[in-house]
Chain A
Amino acid sequence: MREGSAHPLLRLLGGTTVAAILGFLILPAFVVTLAAFNGKAILSFPPETWSWRWFIKAIAYQDFQAGLHNGLIVTGWASSIALVVGAAFALALDRYRFRLKRTLELVLLSPLVIPHFTIGLGFLILAAQLGFARGYAVIVACHIVLVLPFVLRSVYISLRNLDPSLELAAASLGAPPHRVLTSITLPLLVPGLVSGWLFAAILSFNEFTASLFVTAQRTQTLPVAMYNYVREFADPSMAAISVIYIAGTAMLLIFANAFLGLGKVLNVEHSR
């Protein structure tokens, strides 16, 4: 909340700046939507004719269908495994003190700063040396490493916001530790777990750079299929699928914001 004393001119200036920045953020999505409904194969603004044909073409395109299918398999496994592993690590990091704790934290968060091409190439070479084919297992393993920091952060923050006296109360009423975990801790963590899973799923579904290295033609995920499409063709089908993508993601995020409170999950607001 701004102070009432702020100069009106200053507020106007600030408002305009923020609006301009938001415009910059939305501009590509807006332009792509225009391009997707363009009736012709050649870009022109504003479009002379309007049509849905690129949407139909994009949905019917084999590689996009396969990419969606592969992407869902990879995302489902990777984000679910990452959730279990991440939640366990978050619990351990929050509750216990042990040697190398700091190191463990750094190792777990390191995929945030390690270039994705390094991770992708590393997994590719690792798989080749161990004699794995470029199958789903390698992609899933790669994605788990990539999304783990986000799950960890999300669960860790909701653990921090948890009132420890609730657990103490349960324990003092005679609940054994595992009962406390299943009937108090986990239910209270549900928002953090759900948002952690959601973040992991969205990120894994969209992951491109590392996926490019570890996927093969048969296992390519949607972003990889889209990348190949952009390199080969120039028609607005890509714009159409981008629009579907943007709409789907925005809807998921609005849903997440309404039900989970994104601000709290991202640690940008507090329930003070």
Chain B
Amino acid sequence: MQYSVRAYVPGSLDPGGFTLDNFTALTKPLYARVFLDTIWICFLTAFFALIVGYPLAYALVRARHVALKSAILVITITPLFLGEVVRTYSWIVVLGNNGFLNTMLLKSGLIDAPVQFMFTRFGVVTALVHVTLPIMVIMLAAALSHIDRDYERAAASLGAGPIRAFVTVTLPLSTPGIIAGVTTAFAWTFSAFATPQLIGGGQVNMVANLVYQLGFASFNFPFAASLSVAGLVLAFAVLALMRAAATPFERIGAQ
């Protein structure tokens, strides 16, 4: 099923004869910039999702009380099922000029005028981290829960402090989860549409928005298709690169 789609997208390039012009057009600075921007945003999002997600995953796996564990689990994964639109809208309410964050900052006297959060990369990345966090936590928690606690106990009994035991034992052993989480977060961010569209508002463009604009605003479907194929190839290339870069780490984890 999936192959038919994939094979079909390039096949649909030629309603008016086969051409590679669409792909040459991709190298124009305008489009190249959107691609680079997209990769940078994906990278930032995956990075911050990892930083924020790791403590949460750790707490989820190691929480002592069943009720606490369930609470963390439900809070963590509810956003996963809310869909991009609801979450993005929520962030608009939080980040807008009359939004929650600005009002709170104004009232507390920290700032004198509303700070522009909307239509900035900061706003987009914040919302995207929120969107990708649940899947990151699930991946990390799956890896963490597979770690045999005896290793940590062994480290502790050999005199390692909790921090040392974590850095030298737990963290390396969770590398497969980190790689899976970062990879998935990257891929999800890459396909995000509503968040950059609504919070970026044309100021922050990602490949998904470009594809939609070309398809539905200028009805240039062949170009939109070649763009999404290019996006697909790029996403896979970056993911492959990440895998390759992470292999030495994985080896450490396996030892």
Q: Which residues of A contact B (CB under 8 A)?
A: 1-3, 5-7, 10, 14, 17-18, 21-22, 24-29, 31-32, 34-35, 42-45, 107-108, 110-119, 121-126, 129, 144-145, 202-203, 205-209, 212-213, 223, 226-227, 230-231, 238-239, 242, 245-246, 249-250, 252-254, 257, 262-263, 266-270
Contact at A253–B86, with CB atoms within 8 Å?
A: no
Of the candidates B90, B91, B161, the one having the most CB atoms from chain A within 10 angstroms of its own CB is B90
CB contact between B84 and one of A21, A144, A208 (< 8 Å): that residue: A208
Pair B130/A267 contact, Cβ less than 8 Å? no
Cβ–Cβ contact A14 & B142, under 8 A: no
Whether B8 contacts A257 by the Cβ 8 Å rule is: no
Pairs across A and B, CB under 8 Å, 14 listed? A3-B156, A14-B58, A17-B55, A18-B55, A32-B89, A32-B93, A34-B100, A43-B99, A110-B2, A121-B211, A121-B225, A122-B225, A206-B84, A250-B78
Q: Is the CB of B98 within 8 A of A43?
A: yes
B64 adjacent to A239 (CB under 8 Å): no
B120 interface hit (Cβ, 8 Å)? no
Cα–Cα, bound, A231→B141 (Å): 37
- Pick from B56, B59, B84: contact of A223, CB below 8 A: B84
Residues of B within 8 A of A114 (CB): 2, 6, 187, 191, 232, 235
Task: Give the one of A118, A203, A205 with max B CB within 10 A.
Answer: A118
A2-B64 in contact (CB<8A): yes
Sorted nearest first, the 6 A-B pairs with minimum C-beta distance are A206-B83, A28-B90, A115-B191, A122-B5, A268-B141, A113-B187
A52–B90 Cα distance when bound, in Å, is 18
Given the known interface contacts A2-B62, A14-B55, A110-B2, the answer about A117 and B100 at a Cβ–Cβ threshold of 8 Å is no
Q: In the bound complex, do residue A25 and residue B79 qualify as a contact, i.e. CB atoms below 8 Å apart?
A: yes
Name the distance in Å between B167's Cβ and chain A's nearest Cβ: 13
Q: In the docked arrangement, what's the CA distance between A217 and B99, Å?
A: 31
CA distance A63 to B190 in the complex (A): 29
Contact B138 A266 (CB under 8 A): yes
* Majority secondary structure, B binding face: helix
Number of interface residues of B (CB under 8 A): 85
Chain B window 69-86, contacts with chain A (Cβ cutoff 8 Å), 1 for yes, 0 for no = 110111111110111111
Alpha-carbon separation in the docked complex, A96 to B198 (Å): 47
Whole-angstrom distance between the Cβ of B113 and the nearest chain A Cβ: 17
Measured in the bound complex, the distance between the Cα atoms of B183 and A268 in whole Å is: 18
Task: Say how far A207's CB is from chain B's closest CB, in angstroms.
Answer: 7
Looking across the interface, which residue of chain B has its beta carbon closest to that of A198? B81
Whether the Cβ atoms of B81 and A116 lie closer than 8 Å is no
> How many Å lie between the Cα of A44 and that of B12 in the bound state?
49
From A10, A107, A108, A266, B163 is in contact (CB under 8 Å) with A10
The distance from the CB of A61 to the nearest CB of chain B, in whole angstroms, is: 15
Interface centre among A44, A238, A266 (most CB of B within 10 A): A266
Chain B residue nearest in CB terms to A267: B142
Residue of A nearest to B134 (CB): A25
B109: shortest Cβ distance to chain A, in Å?
A: 15
Q: Are A112 and B187 in contact (CB under 8 A)?
A: yes
* Distance between Cα atoms of A24 and B153 in the complex (Å): 32
In the complex, the chain A residue whose C-beta lies closest to that of B137 is A268
With a CB–CB cut-off of 8 A, which chain A residues contact B79? 25, 29
Q: Report B-chain residues with C-beta under 8 Å of the C-beta of A268.
A: 60-61, 73, 138, 141-142, 144-145
Q: Assess the B2–A206 pair: CB atoms within 8 A.
A: no
Q: Report yes or no: A10 in contact with B162, Cβ–Cβ below 8 A.
A: yes
Give every chain A residue within 8 A of B72 (Cβ-Cβ). 18, 22
Question: Is there contact, CB below 8 Å, between A208 and B93?
Answer: no
How far is B151's CA from A3's CA once the two chains are assembled, in angstroms?
13
